[in-house]
Structure 1
Amino acid sequence: MKIITLAAAGLMLTGCATITRGTSTDWTVNTTPAGAAVRTSNDFSCEQTPCTFKMKRKSEFDVTITKPGYKTWTGHVTNKVAGAGGAAMAGNLIAGGIIGAGVDASNGSMLDLTPNPLNVTLEPQ
């Protein structure tokens, strides 16, 4: 009986997006030309692209990109259910891990930021 219980617990954990994917992800900004400054509405910034930030998967934020001699670019980053995140959520539900499914849904571990990477071509002024 202990073996069955341990196997069932292991199956539930392997399907959990929180464990397999985490609640944060790398989010990258690339610009053409490189060397632009990036500011986000959730207080992240870098002075020269390309740059990568560690962001919460459930984040939504605005982005402003500036470079002398080029028009300012603004945009929005949101999130969506990722293929791997959805699969982990399904694994939770199939294995009966309602608690794990609730955790994954609330902490954003089944989400991906979009767009990622953010690729922007700046327009000259």
Structure 2
Amino acid sequence: MSNAQLTINITSRSTRFAVSIIKLANLLPRTPAGFAIASQIVRSGTSIGANIHEAQSASSKKDFIHCSTIALKEARETLYWLTVIFETKLVSNTNLDSLLKESDELVRILYSIIKKAKLNSSLIIDH
């Protein structure tokens, strides 16, 4: 997969993921715990895509890595909240398994992108 294809893939996946997270948050119970988790997961789940999109307009390789790292942190936080929802059975499992899988995949993709960007940066500096 080319860099351009990977960029389109990760940006569209993160946007679809954000929409799914918002829909999930709307299914959480109207309880103190439900409201608190909904707020947290919407913030972290939508921030992934926002930071990926911001990274596409980065002014430098360092800025790209920074934005991508924030997206990775948010993806890991979202995975945490999805696990909490799963473990507490706050919603039925129907779509939760696919969200857990997609969150894990986003973490892996972002980690790979950051690792590759850092490697390419060190190669540029070394030469």
TM-score range, shorter chain: 0.3 to 0.5
Decide which structure has greater strand share. 1
TM-score, L = length of structure 2? 0.36
Structure whose residues are more often helix by fraction? 2
- Greater RCO structure (CA 8 Å; 6+ sep): 1
Bigger CA radius of gyration = 1
